[in-house]
Structure 1
Amino acid sequence: MDWFRLSNEAEVASPALLIFEERVESNLRRMIEIAGDPARLRPHVKTHKLGPLVERQLALGINKFKCATIAEAEMCAQADAPDVLIAMPAVGPNVARLCKLAKKYPATRFSTLIDDAGAMQALGLAAVKAGLTLDVFLDLDCGQNRTGIKPGNEALELYRQATTTAGLKVAGLHAYDGHIHEADLTKRRALYETAFGPVLAFRQQLESAGLAVPVLVAGGTPTFPFHAEQTDRQCSPGTTVLWDFGYADKHVDMPFLPAALLLARVVSKPGANRLCLDLGHKSVAAENPHPRVRFIELPDAPAISQSEEHLVIETPRAAEFSVGDTLHGIPRHVCPTVALYNEATVVRGGAAVGTWPIARARRLTV
């Protein structure tokens, strides 16, 4: 039987997100192999949002995590993760929520990012009021121009201020190079080196000024192999856990397996060469142009139209499929696709064996 087919597929309602446990395990072990030591990894959980996958990583020796939301941070804490970095500046009501989170889960060391003096002071005041000391990383903009402060004198002064801000403890530097995703390995490496030259020079500047830099958290998925070559930083790949065809097509140098599939069914046959599937915008991430999903059975079938609940594809092989037949698709972008589902169907040994809840909400209990 093909690896993607389930022996009890008739019992799984579609559309469904399938997580293949054995493939996840393979990807996790490859991450550790590339990093050289699980202690060097701080995987981003935004890709999967699954507490059981956090627990599995803990069992493999990975004990540090990165996330994007307070809900994801709480999911990690509920899985007994000891160290969680929220890679999003805390502003507005989220400042109080972060303090509440830290009080509710004292066994977990929470940290967040700073890149603004005013926001940093507000965070420190809230921490003092809550009777807490919160770890903070100075977020450096190494070229993505999204969050972070450019390395230099202004950043040094902010770092220095953070070291004396009541309620805060400086944990080090954070630099995410998500703008680097060239397919050509040589070009990708050159861009990585250009982006991180100023980061490393800034770390030296801080240390020369007598300011300690305990940790550098660096990179994402496309540059993971480059950062892993250096032993002076923590690596933060995310998509590597589940993989998708967007990265698989572009980064053929990375040895990961698609571990998350979308199960869809033919619901109608609107023409001799067309199939209508129950996989609309609400079931697969729609921020990219088509193809948003690649079906293993029909990898070359183009999308003709997609609406909230329907996807129409065209194929000369349409006659081979009947209404009710299943297709299995690899998403182009797995992270926002996972966020569309309340639960994932777990596949083990070629069969669906249960479900895992997905922490897709912006709020769990905090």
Structure 2
Amino acid sequence: MVSEDWYTINDIEKLDTPVLVVYPARVKKNIDTAIGMIDNVARLRPHVKTHKCAEVTRLMLQAGITKFKCATIAEAEMLGMCKAPDVLLAYQPIGPKLDRFIRLISLYPNTKFSCLVDNLPASVGISEAAIKKEIKVPVYIDLNVGQNRTGIKLGDVALALYVNCQALSGIEIVGLHAYDGHIHQPDLAERTEECDKCFEKVVKLQSEIVAMGYPKPVIVAGGLPTFPIHAKRKEIECSPGTFVYWDKGYQTSFAEQNFLPAALVVTRVISLPNETTLCLDLGHKSIAAERELKTRVYFINATKLEAVGQSEEHLVVEAGKDHKYKTGDVIYGMPYHVCPTVALYERAITIEDNKMSGEWKNIARDRKITI
């Protein structure tokens, strides 16, 4: 049975706000839950964009996870520093980013780094950079399965890119990457139907590649919303990310996934501007602000508060008449989107047994660590 006051920090008077707090026991539980949703831990390739943290990465390594996905060079370097065996940069490195990526491969030789490509000129650039260093870079063909963000269109053009890349001596095609981030229907049956429809085209491409005599390419597919669907496919790798901390947005939309909130923002009432409103120290710089105002943060211990205004350092909320709030009152908030919220904080304070126990640096929130 989950304790209703699991989030309470008994020595909160020592903690300045706004602050990001993380509950390690819950993080470990979420890692175990993700592993339990798939038949083989070797098929898990978690995305580290949510936590950006070496301590969380090490917990995953200790749990038997050896493959990871990331979006930035800093995240990739953090994984190299943790001696992660297999790291996919889910990004196509162009210009200075390619130079940094090649340097990363040299600096962390015990980690197998790979990246995405979705066009021939970029593939040629990566190949030429690799040849200069006398290495071969593993790559995945990035497929556009409907999100229309990155990736090459499925069909003949994708097959042609695969064939053309095979002729480039500086790269080695490992597989196909299919991120279906546009699929997020709350109803699991509807989500599954749409996911299966998209995935059929990926399997068709894989079959065409094999029919041409090439080795069967690995498929890396999905994110968190389609994780329960792809987890049932016996051969593909799955890339959930948000599960490790969870958030209110996913908790609301994907009720079939039993992850626990493991990261919160803590704020205080700093002013009472009038008889019905409060001002909290939770501005744009402290909580992800890309969503509509009322769905940026959910207050666990103050569920009736309604956000009515926000600026850089302040969040104004409506409390109603005759409320009992006072300046200094502590409020615990669950972000609706935890990934960009984490990126706003240099560190997270760890909470164990309802008390502060240390801190985890979000070292990959910066664009650069050393490279």
TM-score, length basis structure 1 = 0.98
Of the candidates 191, 195, 199, which is equivalent to residue 196 of structure 1?
199
Give the distance between the partners of 2:369 and 2:342, measured in 1 at CA.
17
Query: Deviations 1:98-150 (Å, cap 9, x if unpaired)?
Result: 00000000000000000110010011000111222111001111111111112
**For the Cα contact (< 8 Å) 2:293–2:308, is it kept in 1?**
no
- Name the residue aligned to 1:340: 344
Asked if residue 322 in structure 1 is aligned to residue 322 in structure 2, the reply is no
Q: Does 1:225 align with 2:240?
A: no
**AA matched with 2:367:** R
Contact 2:293 2:309 in 1 (8 A): no
Residue 318 of structure 1 deviates from its aligned partner by 6.7
1: CA distance between counterparts of 2:322 and 2:277?
Answer: 6
Larger displacement relative to structure 2 (61-70 or 160-169): 160-169
Match of 2:187 among 184, 189, 193: 184
Distance (whole Å) between structure 2 residues aligned to residue 209 and residue 198 of structure 1? 17
Q: 1:340–1:318: structure 2 CA closer, same or farther, 3 Å change rule?
A: farther
1:5 aligns with 2:3: no
SS in 2 for 1:111: strand
- Is the 8 Å Cα contact of residues 14 and 278 (structure 1) preserved in structure 2? yes
Asked if the contact 1:173–1:213 (Cα under 8 Å) also holds between the matched residues in 2, the reply is no
Which residue pairs with 1:147 in the alignment? 150
Correspondent of 2:262 among 253, 259, 273: 259
Q: Aligned residues, how many?
A: 366
Structure 2 residue 295 is the aligned partner of structure 1 residue 295: no
Which residue does the alignment assign to 2:38?
Answer: 35
Superposed displacement of residue 321, structure 1: 2.1
Q: What does residue range 39-188 of structure 1 map to in structure 2 within 5 Å?
A: 39-188=42-191
- Distance in 2, matches of 1:297 and 1:343, equals 23
Which of 306, 314, 334 lines up with 2:310 in the alignment? Answer: 306
State the Cα deviation string for residues 237-290 of structure 1 (Å, max 9, x = none): 011111111111111111111111001011111112211100000000000002
Change (3 A) 1:198 1:268: same
Letter in 1 for 2:170: G
2:354 pairs with 1:364 = no
In structure 1, what is the Cα distance between the partners aligned to 2:229 and 2:152? 23
Residue 162 (structure 1) shift: 1.6
Instruction: Verify the 8 A CA contact 1:267 1:278 in the aligned structure 2.
Output: yes
1:37, distance to aligned residue in structure 2 (A): 2.2
Contact 1:273 / 1:319 at 8 angstroms: preserved in 2?
Answer: yes
Contact in 2 for aligned 1:172/1:214 (Cα 8 Å): yes
Do the aligned partners of 1:15 and 1:279 also contact (CA within 8 Å) in 2? yes
Post-superposition offset of 1:301: 1.6
Contact 2:43–2:235 (8 Å) recurs in 1: no
Q: State how far apart, in whole Å, the 1-side matches of 2:321 and 2:349 are.
A: 28
Q: Is the 8 A contact 1:274 1:318 kept in 2?
A: no
Aligned partners of 1:352, 1:11: CA distance in 2, in Å?
9
Alignment correspondent of 1:283: 286
User: Partners of 1:247 and 1:40 in 2: how far apart?
Assistant: 22
TM-score after normalising by structure 2: 0.97
Work out whether residues 74 and 369 of structure 2, in 8 Å CA contact, stay in contact via their aligned partners in 1. Answer: yes
- What residue identity is the alignment partner of 1:363? K
CA–CA distance in structure 2, aligned partners of residues 13 and 79 of structure 1: 30
Describe the shift of the 1:317–1:92 C-alpha distance in structure 2 as closer, same or farther (beyond 3 A): farther
Please state how far the C-alpha of 1:206 moved relative to its aligned partner. 0.6
Is 1:26–2:29 an aligned residue pair?
yes
Native 8 Å contact 2:139 2:171 kept in 1:
yes
Residue identity opposite 1:304 in structure 2 = V
Deviation at 1:160, TM superposition (A): 1.4
Q: Which runs of 5+ in 1 are unaligned?
A: none
Which runs of at least 4 in structure 1 moved beyond 3 Å after TM superposition?
none
Q: Which amino acid letter does the alignment assign opposite residue 107 of structure 1? A: N
Q: Percent identity?
A: 45
Inter-partner Cα distance in structure 2 for 1:252 and 1:343: 29
> Is the CA contact 1:275–1:318 (under 8 Å) kept in the aligned structure 2?
no
Tell me, yes or no, if the aligned pair for 1:239 and 1:335 is still in contact at 8 Å.
yes
For 1:22, the aligned partner's letter is A
Query: Deviation at 1:317?
Result: 7.2
Residues 275 and 321 in structure 2, CA contact (< 8 A), matched pair in contact too: no
Contact 1:99 1:132 in 2 (8 A): no
Question: Residue 333 of structure 1 aligns to which amino acid in structure 2?
Answer: H
